[in-house]
Amino acid sequence: MAQVEATTERIIAADAETVFDALADYSGTRAKVLPEHFSEYEVREGGDGEGTLVHWKLQAASKRVRDCLLEVSEPTDGQLVEKDRNSSMVTTWTVTPAGEGKSRAVVTTVWNGAGGIGGFFEKTFAPKGLARIYDLVLARLAAEVEAGVEK
């Protein structure tokens, strides 16, 4: 079983604190910025960063749906970690300053991939598909927080 990793990032025209707060807002902003790949979204505990328990189904491919139950932690400033109780999947969101009024948002997801030929295809194609999905999330997050900055 090889570890599979998908990473994407985006520069957002808003300060790091604003972007992080929006990402950590599972009860509001996060639900708004998720694309159609996410369904059955539900905050089960908390709703703002550390201590949140959130559920969703992620359809990364036409035949592959992951039922995710994620525990959220904040191990360091500017970082959210979502650990899936149903699998080995861990997603880390890191927001850092990137110049005047800008921030860099990076999302990395890792999980233990399958073995054999299925694992080969998973390691080859899953990271690209997941990166595309998270690129959409970051684009929608950017639109959301940048609109708030302009007000």
Beta strand ranges found along the chain (DSSP E): 3-12, 38-45, 53-61, 64-73, 79-84, 90-97, 103-112
C-alpha span between 97 and 26 (Å, rounded): 22
pLDDT for 130 equals 86
Q: Which residues of the chain have pLDDT under 70?
A: 1, 118-121, 123-125, 149-151
72-82 burial code (b ≥16 CB/10 A, e <16): bebeeebebbb
pLDDT for 150 equals 59
DSSP label at residue 113: P
pLDDT for 61 equals 73
pLDDT for 1 equals 59
pLDDT for 64 equals 78
